[in-house]
């Protein structure tokens, strides 16, 4: 069975080929275990319950069946004939010496080249379908998602939402860039490493990640990150928070890469913010909607009601590279059945003209920017307890974060929305683990 699954998944190609492309800095006499087998064991261990740390990965590897260890390329003991997984000490030492940025490039290119089932399964995002994923129609759902009498709840809800609230025509593929600090890896007064990543808006896979150099910020690292990420995915829009709303980034995205940017304006760009507030001050929301420069979106869920109103205006006279439009988003949130209402106002700027990105499109791009928090950072912190992981030797924190991104991307490609459920689903069935990656 293991050999058949391994053959069908292309063992020796795919992810294993990417692992072989990572430079091994060890001396030849100190390579009892190959680097690709160590990375494969660490990846599979990360995909299982308890694989949040090197210790947890090692415990899983100690109990892994021989057939699985053979597929992962683990060394075969000539005396006993058994395949031996690398020890915890070996895993910790070797992973700490791997170049994290190089491993990120290889794993992101692997994910970028995989054919995804998609965030919303066979229907695709924004496509209405008459086929309903309910308990009585479980046969319409991929077999690996069937659990008991129903499918994964979050996946079912995502598909229902895609049918009920389809996207307007013309929404482009985008990526969200944001940084994350590995707080558990800090030592004494020294801060832990910081990583900047780009997440695909709808696929939920990391297209690129880089470590932010010490004594600098995220801003100068965005340009090299995008060069790596564009080789991994077909994105046309890049969304960033206010930290990256700088002139050089806007110029680079527009002139050098030919991408559309959607940026949030705050006090770090006082002149552009003041000009945007002035341009968007006049008129009512109803008047803007009649003029096709406004849009209102109502949403209900998670115990709250939300109203998002966006209006746009031409960026005439605003001194910002290639600016075409400015926009204002007003968010009003109230608890379901509650009296109180909170209000938040945000301003932004984009180089996308109105015929490419209307008010509804810009609202979607801004909202999807938060997928990098909800689908990557939050999951790594809550499900993988990343901020509690105190691994801090060499490149180990970066490498573990890279492997978590790889596993998260593989789960997303298989249409899993609940990552904790996915880890339980794959932990005790080696055949499922083998089918997760193309090793």
pLDDT tens digit string along 118-141?
443 433 333 333 333 333 333 444
pLDDT surpasses 50 at 364 = yes
pLDDT surpasses 90 at 159 = no
CA 119 to the chain's CA centroid: 12
Query: What integer is the mean pLDDT of 356-380?
Result: 95
State the chain's mean pLDDT as an integer: 86
Q: Quick one: pLDDT at residue 100?
A: 94
pLDDT surpasses 70 at 341 = yes
Query: What integer is the mean pLDDT of 16-39?
Result: 91
Q: Quick one: pLDDT at residue 124?
A: 38
- Phi first, then psi: what are they for 16, rounded to 5°? -65, -35
Up-side HSE of residue 127: CA atoms within 13 Å toward CB?
A: 10
Token pair 């699954």 is at which residue?
Answer: 5
Distances (CA, A) of 196 to 213, 218, 220: 10, 7, 11
Q: Quick one: pLDDT at residue 189?
A: 61
Which residues are CB-contacts of 8 (< 8 A; sequence separation ≥ 6)?
Answer: none
Which residues are CB-contacts of 37 (< 8 A; sequence separation ≥ 6)?
Answer: 72, 73, 74, 75, 86
What is the pTM for the complete model shown?
A: 0.86
Is the pLDDT higher at 131 or at 23? 23
DSSP per-residue letters across 94-160 = HHHTS-HHHHHHHHHHHHHTS----TTGGG-TT---S---SGGGGGGS-GGGEETTEE-HHHHHHHH
CB of 194 within 8 A of CB of 182? Answer: yes
pLDDT surpasses 80 at 227 = yes
**438 band by pLDDT with thresholds 50, 70 and 90:** low
Token pair 């995989």 is at which residue?
Answer: 114
Distance between CA atoms of residues 402 and 261, nearest Å: 26
Q: Quick one: pLDDT at residue 282?
A: 86
Question: Among 11-25, 145-159, 208-222, 261-275, where is mean pLDDT lowest?
Answer: 145-159
Q: 309-321: per-residue pLDDT in tens? A: 999 999 999 999 9
CA angle 35, 38, 41 (to 5 degrees): 150
Dihedral (C-alpha) 37, 42, 48, 51: value to the nearest 10 degrees?
150
**9 band by pLDDT with thresholds 50, 70 and 90:** very low
Which residues are CB-contacts of 275 (< 8 A; sequence separation ≥ 6)?
Answer: 317, 318, 319, 326
Distance between CA atoms of residues 184 and 193, nearest Å: 9
Distance between CA atoms of residues 20 and 24, nearest Å: 9
Q: Quick one: pLDDT at residue 188?
A: 63
Query: What integer is the mean pLDDT of 210-215?
Result: 88
Q: Quick one: pLDDT at residue 142?
A: 54
Question: Among 30-39, 144-153, 412-421, where is mean pLDDT lowest?
Answer: 144-153
Longest dimension (CA), the chain: 83
Q: Quick one: pLDDT at residue 113?
A: 81
Element (H, E) at 302: none
Element (H, E) at 251: helix 247-251
Q: Quick one: pLDDT at residue 54?
A: 95
pLDDT surpasses 90 at 144 = no
pLDDT surpasses 70 at 229 = yes
High-pLDDT (> 70) share of the chain, %: 87
Distance between CA atoms of residues 124 and 128, nearest Å: 9
Query: What integer is the mean pLDDT of 370-390?
Result: 92
Question: Among 97-101, 133-137, 199-203, where is mean pLDDT lowest?
Answer: 133-137
Decide: helix, strand or coil at residue 225.
Answer: helix
Token pair for 281:
């001050």
Dihedral (C-alpha) 99, 235, 240, 422: value to the nearest 10 degrees?
-60
Q: Quick one: pLDDT at residue 118?
A: 42
pLDDT surpasses 50 at 290 = yes
Is the pLDDT higher at 30 or at 255? 255
Query: What integer is the mean pLDDT of 37-57?
Result: 96
Which residues are CB-contacts of 80 (< 8 A; sequence separation ≥ 6)?
Answer: none
High-pLDDT (> 90) share of the chain, %: 64
Decide: helix, strand or coil at residue 51.
Answer: coil
Query: What integer is the mean pLDDT of 273-296?
Result: 92
Distance between CA atoms of residues 311 and 329, nearest Å: 7
- Closest CA relative to residue 381, chosen from 197, 181, 187, 192: 181
């Amino acid at each position: 069975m293991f050999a058949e699954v391994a053959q069908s998944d292309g063992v020796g190609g795919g992810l294993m080929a990417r692992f072989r492309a990572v430079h091994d800095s060890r001396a030849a006499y100190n390579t009892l275990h190959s680097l690709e087998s160590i990375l494969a064991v660490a990846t599979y261990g990360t995909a299982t319950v308890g694989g949040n740390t090197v210790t947890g990965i090692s415990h899983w590897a100690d109990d892994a069946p021989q057939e699985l260890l053979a597929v992962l390329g683990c060394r075969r003991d000539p005396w006993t004939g058994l395949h031996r997984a690398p020890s915890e000490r070996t895993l910790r030492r070797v992973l700490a010496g791997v170049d994290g940025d190089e491993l990120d490039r290889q794993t992101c290119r692997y994910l970028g080249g995989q054919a995804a089932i998609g965030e919303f399964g066979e229907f695709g995002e924004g496509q209405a379908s008459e086929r309903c994923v309910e308990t009585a129609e479980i046969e319409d759902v991929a077999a690996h998602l069937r659990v008991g009498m129903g499918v994964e709840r979050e996946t079912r809800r995502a598909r229902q939402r895609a049918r009920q609230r389809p996207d307007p025509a013309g929404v482009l593929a985008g990526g969200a860039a944001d940084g994350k600090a590995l707080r558990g890896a800090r030592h004494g007064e020294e801060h832990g490493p910081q990583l900047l990543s780009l997440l695909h808006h709808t696929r939920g896979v990391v297209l690129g990640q880089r470590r932010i150099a010490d004594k600098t910020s995220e801003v100068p690292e965005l340009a090299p990150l995008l060069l790596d990420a564009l080789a991994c995915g077909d994105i046309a829009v890049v969304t960033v928070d206010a930290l990256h709303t700088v002139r050089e980034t806007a110029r680079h995205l527009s002139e050098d890469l030919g991408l559309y940017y959607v940026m949030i304006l705050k006090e770090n760009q006082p002149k552009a913010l003041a000009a945007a507030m002035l341009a968007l001050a006049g008129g009512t929301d109803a008047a803007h909607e009649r003029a096709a420069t406004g849009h209102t979106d109502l949403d209900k869920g998670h115990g709250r009601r939300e109203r998002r109103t966006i209006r746009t205006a031409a960026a005439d006279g605003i001194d910002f590279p290639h600016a075409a439009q400015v926009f204002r988003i007003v968010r009003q949130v109230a608890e379901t059945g509650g009296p109180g209402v909170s209000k938040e106002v945000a301003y932004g700027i984009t180089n996308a003209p109105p015929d490419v990105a209307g008010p509804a499109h810009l609202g979607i791009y801004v909202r999807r920017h938060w997928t990098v928090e909800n689908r990557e950072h939050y999951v790594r912190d809550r499900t993988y307890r990343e901020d509690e992981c105190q691994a801090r030797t060499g490149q180990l924190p970066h490498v573990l974060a890279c492997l978590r991104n790889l596993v998260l991307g593989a789960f997303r490609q298989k249409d899993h929305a609940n990552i904790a459920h996915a880890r339980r689903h794959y932990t005790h069935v080696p055949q499922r683990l083998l089918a997760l990656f193309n090793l």
